[in-house]
Amino acid sequence: MRFFDLLNFQHVMAYIFCGLIFLIVFGVALGYAHFRHERSEQQKSEIVGHFPEGIEDRVAPFPLVMVLIISGVVIWGFLYILMHGLMGVKI
Residue 91 has pLDDT above 60, yes or no: no
CA distance 79 to 77: 6
DSSP element (H, E) containing 57 = strand 55-58
DSSP element (H, E) containing 73 = helix 64-87
Q: Which pLDDT value is given to residue 90?
A: 62
pLDDT band with cut points at 50, 70 and 90 for residue 47: confident
Say whether pTM exceeds 0.85.
no
